[in-house]
Amino acid sequence: MRVLSLDVNGDRTEVAAPAHWTLLEVLRYRLGLTGSKQGCDKGDCGACTVLVDGKPILACLTLAGLCSERRITTIEGLMPAHLRAGGSGPDPVQAAFDRCGALQCGFCQPGMMLSARALLNEKPRPSRDEIRAALAGNLCRCTGYTQIVQAVELVIAEAAGTEPAPPAWAPGTNPWRATGGAARAHAPLQRPARESDAGRGDAPESEG
β-bridge mates for residue 17, sequence order: 2
Query: Is 167 in contact with 148 (CB distance < 8 Å)?
Result: no
Task: Determine the pLDDT at residue 111.
Answer: 97
Task: Determine the pLDDT at residue 165.
Answer: 76
Could you tell me the pTM of the whole model?
0.79
Instruction: Mark the ranges of the chain whose per-residue pLDDT is less than 50.
Output: 174-194, 196-208
Measured from the Cβ of residue 165, the count of other Cβ atoms closer than 10 Å reads: 16
List of E strands, 18-101: 49-52, 55-58, 71-73
The conformation of residue 168, written as its DSSP 8-state character, comes to T
Task: Determine the pLDDT at residue 191.
Answer: 45
Query: Is 59 in contact with 48 (CB distance < 8 Å)?
Result: yes
Distance, CA of 115 to CA of 134 (rounded, Å): 7
β-bridge mates for residue 71, sequence order: 7
Task: Determine the pLDDT at residue 143.
Answer: 85
Task: Determine the pLDDT at residue 172.
Answer: 63
The residue among 41, 207, 85, 145 whose CA lies nearest residue 73 is 85
Task: Determine the pLDDT at residue 166.
Answer: 77
- End-to-end, the C-alpha distance of the chain in Å comes to 88
Fold of the CATH domain 2-160? Ubiquitin-like (UB roll) (3.10.20)
Distance, CA of 135 to CA of 115 (rounded, Å): 6
